Amino acid sequence: MKARISVTLDPTVNRKAKKLAARRGTTVSGLIESLLRHEAEPPKRPRVDAMIGSAVLRERGPENDPRFDRLSQKYLRG
């Protein structure tokens, strides 16, 4: 069973809500309900979160790191 509530809106917001509801073929109550349902849903995982762990990084070691080679020449090998 649906509950009745009172919502106080600015007159400009109320006019815009009525126009939007009419365009969508619903009422202001239905519009508010659908907006609240949408906001109450857990957020969908962003694309970046879904990609975590999907890439494989190449191993960097002294034998394949040009920066390491240059720094070791400068500081370690005299």
pLDDT digits (tens, 9 = 90+) for 40-73: 987 777 787 788 888 877 776 667 778 888 888 8
Helix, strand, coil shares of the chain, percent, nearest 5, are 60, 0, 40
Joined tokens for residue 30: 């239905």
Query: Nearest-CA neighbor of 32 among 15, 11, 42, 17?
Result: 17
Predicted model pTM: 0.52
Query: Residue 56: helix, strand or coil by DSSP?
Result: coil
The maximal CA–CA distance of the chain, rounded, in angstroms, is 82
Segment 11-28 shows an average pLDDT of 97
> For residue 65, what pLDDT is reported?
79
